[in-house]
Structure 1
């Protein structure tokens, strides 16, 4: 397995648009702008998760979808603590400067996060309690042991003895048994018992096994209801079998969140896989940063846990049982279509529809005829991206395939296609990003599987994550070689493609092909590229390229020429980009920012950002595409790609944006922004104080349009349906 070196030459990966100047202009320093012009990024993320929670609280959302949003909220918050809060706390303890939160002391930021997180977790628990009776009305009952009758209990006693008891491991805490290690995100029972012979009180910890279903399906009682019992409730009512002869005094649930943000110190002399695997072992033993306990826990037990885990009062979250509501993902998978969003089957892009239903489309012929813009999940990943790679693997005229893999699914037809191509004798290069957070183990496995099949596997550049979404096919056609490129905004993951909104471009444009080829050469070898024609590439020059575009819009506005900026991203954090947008707004440039998650920009501030609007759209699909559109004096410049406006994307990752050229694609992007920003579309609006307000009803109380529903209807009306539908469950902690 190969690994390439980072290059210090400043000309590497240059994406200059108009000249060869690499220096940033002095107007981005921000010294003349208000100090308090940025919203705190961590609080902005919590505001995003609050929007997810608002969907769970919305009675117009189908019941099992509300359950799903509750699980997504819980999973999101776990990752937020494991990464963002952990990172902030580590920086405070080590004295490392925190790059954001300008003007706010880091410890105050941590206090603000704690206060808001406590509020949201309590609201989350209340939302779950409100859903329990609604689920019961729909014949889905989450029951407690106390609610079960004698027959149920007798049947479950046998289940406990044969299926639960053998896998439980109670651990005593006494002079001979030190306090056990509590793994991150595990659910545990604290148990205090009294020995009747000595009258001595002892403490024990019992881990709720993660190998068993968290919600146990109860036997049919003839009512037709689906009935469930929480595993910890079941175990708690059989503690006498685990501690025979002892008097059970107290038992409570608790859960610890640890710092699981892996930082790999890369050394060019060391194998990256080995370094990463070593760091992944450390992840299990990161310091605790949150302790969740049930609200009935006694003070004696709480003091013991706080002392042994070394957590502060602010890091304790006292909540009603049950803890860890990510378990609700299990309920969201119940097959009850009437309680879910109406099923949507993705359509095949018109250019890729075969002439006859029994035929397969010739993807290469379609791309040769004109560029193809695909929009997932409204359009099928299976009949576009997957078909592209599968045809490449089987086509005897294809000589080489090159692809980046950041995250992919467990059973991946994409990986299968690359393996098939290698086994057919084609040259195949896979750049596998083994440092994709929380997918490190999976990606190491993919890298080894691909390498065994004869695929050339590389990691990319030292010190950088390769986050760009690229696939390149080299095909022999007559006496020439033709480049077929796919550049997208989302991962090559068939499963998430059903629930993540993403955009991708297929093109046979020779200039794009040359750009992508040269970029792959840089990522896998030692090529030094000085210019890309159709691409903007991070980390060295993507930010600068966008700043030049924003500056040009500012200048056009001052000269009375047509101007305008529209940006769609997951996160808007980078100070240089935000400051440039402020200056463009001061010049009168109309600016629309469509953001899913974090936004540090303050819109609508008099004299600073009066022409800026910020909207957020959340729904059944996760908005994931990144789009940058500039009016450019009537000659629109529109880019799609993988980069968010964050330091990590612009400074520490390899990211790619590609410029669209087809007039119909520019019109499609413009129409997409028109729909998202329209007052008739349901969305959240950000104000200058950082508050997000949901706008889902019009002045007369009528329900506003659901943008994702509108797009589904539009695609279904104009294009034939295809395969590639399937499960529509959200992707856990990637939301």
Structure 2
């Protein structure tokens, strides 16, 4: 897999150049997907709808329609820069950490999330941009920035955000934690009584795993692994007076912050935090692990004088490149590439703000880091460690405990015996929303019951990310061992989950599961499960199509939808799609699905044009047309231009985006009918919903695809049309709540700035959307119980 996408290919023009260069897709493969026979086999028919007439150029029109301008006639500055938009998203995460109305430990957690997000951004996005610049493949972005101008802006904004992030911790969150008896102390702030057990802790648990590395003519500068925390140590030989440099790596296998506790040595390192509570429950102190190591450096270098020490941290390019066409065994190729990943070039150096200039010069020289890539920060570095602090057992400082509810259609009625989920789905389609509806009593139970059902003949499943101890994996293994036909389409290239995915892919293979890795050149990102059951009236296909991964752990914090149905059209679509993924099905067509890379973009554009035509046909006498997109990111220029054309025609466009957004709303004559907002909170908004009013006959899709080049061109994605009136009403209610002026959110302005609205003019808090949804689902469950 190569470094970045060079061009986007139109699958209807298999061997012709794409319409535009990919900007900022460095984390994805640049394969020309139109050249793959397997890829070009994705074809689809858009489900039957009331379709207006077409103009000679193929576009939909209504009576007297004035066609909106084509892309060449739209303003050249109509896109926002995607890389900067991502940094703005992480800034919104940081703003939650600044909010004093949010529970204190959750503010610490948001600081940790910010740090973790930024690490991944540098490892993938910045690394990809640097690599394309170095190879001469970088081009001007869709927003009009030259590559080097973009990387300068990224560095400038990243410096500002990282400094602000450190200041929020040092001056707001840390003092507030201390007021609550949760203190992050430095070694010098501990008295001898507190230090005593930590001496033993160092001797017994830290010293044996440390490897001090000297730098001299006999010892070259050591390799510094990505995201590792290190100590740069200046030493002096007392006999000769000569100075020496050494590096000590802070072991990542040990906790980042160590609890100051006299009973520490008696407690396993992996014990839960409540096992290491002080006798005084309200008083908890933590010391950074690097401070403990630094206070014992004389034991690592006996006979030498320790003059100074400084902490530093390196971020490396950790994206994966696998040329799938050049290998017969993708699994083996990926395993080799993961070994090479550890040696990617450095792209960021974080250092203490008072680091010695000679030490910094040496680090920069040896790591080949420019001044722009050096980030001076107050210690402690690497605030991902705040996840440990956020998990302290103080319910009064955290969000109220939330327990997902079993969906009413899956809830047992008269006994505690679990309901037969297949029978429930046979009666009616069921739409679940996680985490409000329990994953374990819906998706997980669906697959487990199918695995145990003797009448189930086959289970087919896509797996993108899941936990290593997932009951989903166990259920598929049980089904295979029971003699069922089990197919697992495993995406082993899911970024940063590659090692785990390789492990359980081999585990599935050993159990007799048919494991395939999808279509060459594409990641399989669709969330699909198909269960085939023998019943008295023949074979029945039970389907689950979701917006989120089959991962029980993330399902507790990711907001996602999932549709359960045994509709014959959906079952036929899934059968064809799985056949395409596991074999050869060059003429596959779909009825209720839109499938990328062939028909998600074209299908959505067609729906947009239909909305415009129906809006124009009604004229001023009827309500305006409306389009609502809820997604994680929206970047694709062709879709954005289609939305601009809809806005110009007078259609109201609402975009609900969590992360990156390249749409510039509110521009007179272009996007004055477009609103863009973002909602962040305790749950990660992850579902994708595409709503078209369609003249009072809503056309609505949910699925796995974000509106990005990689999703639409280089991934297998699936959207399913929602048809049940009750489900449409539920989705309409969600949209209405999300776009209510009384809902807390961020609004995007035409200048590209996000403005937070979380209080009324009188300073009262606006509604928390996720809290309202918790209340709504709880009320729905109670109402179902009364029936």
Structure 2 length as normaliser, TM-score? 0.89
Who is 2:75 aligned against? 34
Residue 98 of structure 1 deviates from its aligned partner by: 4.1
Among 170, 188, 198, the alignment partner of 2:240 is 198
Superposed, 1:356-395 pairs within 5 Å as 356-395=414-453
Distance 1:176 1:81, change over 3 A: same
Who is 1:207 aligned against? 249
Residue 161 of structure 1 deviates from its aligned partner by: 2.0
Residue 721 of structure 1 deviates from its aligned partner by: 11
SS of 1:655's partner is: strand
Superposed, 1:216-295 pairs within 5 Å as 216-219=258-261, 224=281, 225-267=283-325, 269-295=327-353
SS of 2:479's partner is: helix
For residues 151-190 of structure 1, give each alpha carbon's deviation from its aligned partner in whole angstroms, at most 9, with x where no partner exists: 1222322222222212111100000000000000000000
**Matching of residue 145 in structure 1 with residue 187 in structure 2:** yes
SS of 2:747's partner is: strand
Q: Distance in 2 between matches of 1:720 and 1:481?
A: 36
8 Å contact kept, 1:41–1:573: yes
For residues 93-141 of structure 1, give each alpha carbon's deviation from its aligned partner in whole angstroms, at most 9, with x where no partner exists: 1111447443111111100000000000011111111211211221211
8 Å contact kept, 1:347–1:721: no
| Bigger shift: residues 65-74 or 130-139 | 130-139
Who is 2:533 aligned against? 475
8 Å contact kept, 1:50–1:120: yes
Residue 10 of structure 1 deviates from its aligned partner by: 3.9
Among 661, 664, 682, the alignment partner of 1:599 is 661
**Matching of residue 534 in structure 1 with residue 592 in structure 2:** yes
Among 494, 514, 537, the alignment partner of 1:436 is 494
8 Å contact kept, 2:544–2:562: yes
Among 457, 474, 490, the alignment partner of 2:548 is 490
**Matching of residue 178 in structure 1 with residue 225 in structure 2:** no
Who is 2:44 aligned against? 14
Q: Distance in 1 between matches of 2:701 and 2:550?
A: 19
For residues 208-254 of structure 1, give each alpha carbon's deviation from its aligned partner in whole angstroms, at most 9, with x where no partner exists: 01111111111157654111110001111111111222222221000
8 Å contact kept, 1:15–1:542: no
Who is 2:378 aligned against? 320
**Matching of residue 155 in structure 1 with residue 155 in structure 2:** no
Who is 1:466 aligned against? 524
Among 306, 330, 338, the alignment partner of 2:396 is 338
**Matching of residue 628 in structure 1 with residue 690 in structure 2:** yes
Among 70, 94, 109, the alignment partner of 2:111 is 70
Q: Distance in 1 between matches of 2:384 and 2:679?
A: 23
Distance 1:688 1:452, change over 3 A: same
Among 631, 649, 652, the alignment partner of 1:590 is 652
CA RMSD of aligned residues (A): 1.9
Who is 1:733 aligned against? none
Distance 1:511 1:470, change over 3 A: same
Distance 1:100 1:539, change over 3 A: farther
8 Å contact kept, 1:28–1:580: no
Q: Distance in 2 between matches of 1:171 and 1:721?
A: 66
Who is 1:112 aligned against? 153
8 Å contact kept, 1:572–1:601: yes
Q: Distance in 2 between matches of 1:268 and 1:428?
A: 28
Who is 1:671 aligned against? 733
Q: Distance in 2 between matches of 1:67 and 1:685?
A: 25
For residues 442-480 of structure 1, give each alpha carbon's deviation from its aligned partner in whole angstroms, at most 9, with x where no partner exists: 011111001111111000000000000000000111140
Residue 524 of structure 1 deviates from its aligned partner by: 0.2
Structure 1 length as normaliser, TM-score? 0.95
8 Å contact kept, 1:518–1:529: no
Distance 1:395 1:466, change over 3 A: same
| Bigger shift: residues 596-605 or 129-138 | 129-138
| Bigger shift: residues 582-591 or 261-270 | 261-270
Higher normalized contact order (CA 8 Å, seq sep 6+, divided by chain length): 1
Q: Which ranges of structure 2 fall in alignment gaps of 5 or more residues?
A: 1-34, 60-66, 263-277
SS of 1:107's partner is: helix
**Matching of residue 657 in structure 1 with residue 719 in structure 2:** yes
Who is 1:694 aligned against? 756
Residue 357 of structure 1 deviates from its aligned partner by: 3.5
Distance 1:721 1:214, change over 3 A: farther
Among 739, 744, 747, the alignment partner of 1:682 is 744
Q: Distance in 2 between matches of 1:163 and 1:366?
A: 54
Who is 1:48 aligned against? 89
Residue 263 of structure 1 deviates from its aligned partner by: 1.8
Residue 625 of structure 1 deviates from its aligned partner by: 0.1
Q: Distance in 2 between matches of 1:639 and 1:146?
A: 59
8 Å contact kept, 1:348–1:720: no
Who is 2:408 aligned against? 350
SS of 1:329's partner is: helix
Q: Distance in 2 between matches of 1:10 and 1:452?
A: 32
8 Å contact kept, 2:327–2:333: no
Residue 269 of structure 1 deviates from its aligned partner by: 4.7
Q: Distance in 2 between matches of 1:268 and 1:666?
A: 46
Distance 1:250 1:395, change over 3 A: same
8 Å contact kept, 1:432–1:458: yes
8 Å contact kept, 1:28–1:579: no
For residues 681-724 of structure 1, give each alpha carbon's deviation from its aligned partner in whole angstroms, at most 9, with x where no partner exists: 000000011100000011222110000000001111220599xx
Residue 353 of structure 1 deviates from its aligned partner by: 1.1
| Bigger shift: residues 376-385 or 554-563 | 554-563
8 Å contact kept, 2:464–2:549: yes
Among 505, 508, 522, the alignment partner of 1:447 is 505
SS of 2:158's partner is: helix
For residues 477-535 of structure 1, give each alpha carbon's deviation from its aligned partner in whole angstroms, at most 9, with x where no partner exists: 11400010000000000000000000000001001000000000000000123421100
SS of 2:325's partner is: coil
For residues 526-567 of structure 1, give each alpha carbon's deviation from its aligned partner in whole angstroms, at most 9, with x where no partner exists: 012342110000002210000001111122222226511000
Q: Which ranges of structure 1 fall in alignment gaps of 5 or more residues?
A: 723-735
8 Å contact kept, 2:576–2:588: no
Among 122, 125, 148, the alignment partner of 1:81 is 122
8 Å contact kept, 1:604–1:688: yes
Q: Distance in 1 between matches of 2:493 and 2:217?
A: 41
**Matching of residue 304 in structure 1 with residue 362 in structure 2:** yes
Q: Distance in 1 between matches of 2:413 and 2:173?
A: 49
Distance 1:518 1:27, change over 3 A: farther
